[in-house]
Amino acid sequence: MEESVMPRVRLSETSPLALAYMGDAVFELLVREKLVCAGERPPAELNRLARGYVTAVAQSAAVEKLLPLLDENETDMYKRGRNAKSAHAPRSAGAVEYRRATGLECLFGYLYLCGRIDRARALFDAACVPAP
């Protein structure tokens, strides 16, 4: 049983953009874990490969694979992040892709702070192609 980092009550009151901020780090960590575990590579190559996972475009595509796997609570958390109003304007992605990526990051931040990193890892594995 994993332990929650934050009480659930506080999580429900936490800004979806704050959860997305946390989820960005969690998602990046899962990407790095996947790449490092796939075999020895120089850091420059690891960084190049990681960019294929962490862009708003790639994260938006991952959402398509994830949505059918989410329970009601996870879907609600994704939607909270997707619908959050951000002052940040995307440069390399469309507004819809950026909002979907924010929803994905919100979900991963929520799962981590609930102590459900195994669930985050399972969703990441289901949504992301194996490392090259």
**Residues recognised as catalytic:** 24
- Residue owning tokens 């009151």: 13
As a whole number of angstroms, the distance between CA 79 and CA 66 comes to 13
In terms of Cα–Cα distance, which of 85, 128, 124 is closest to 107? 124
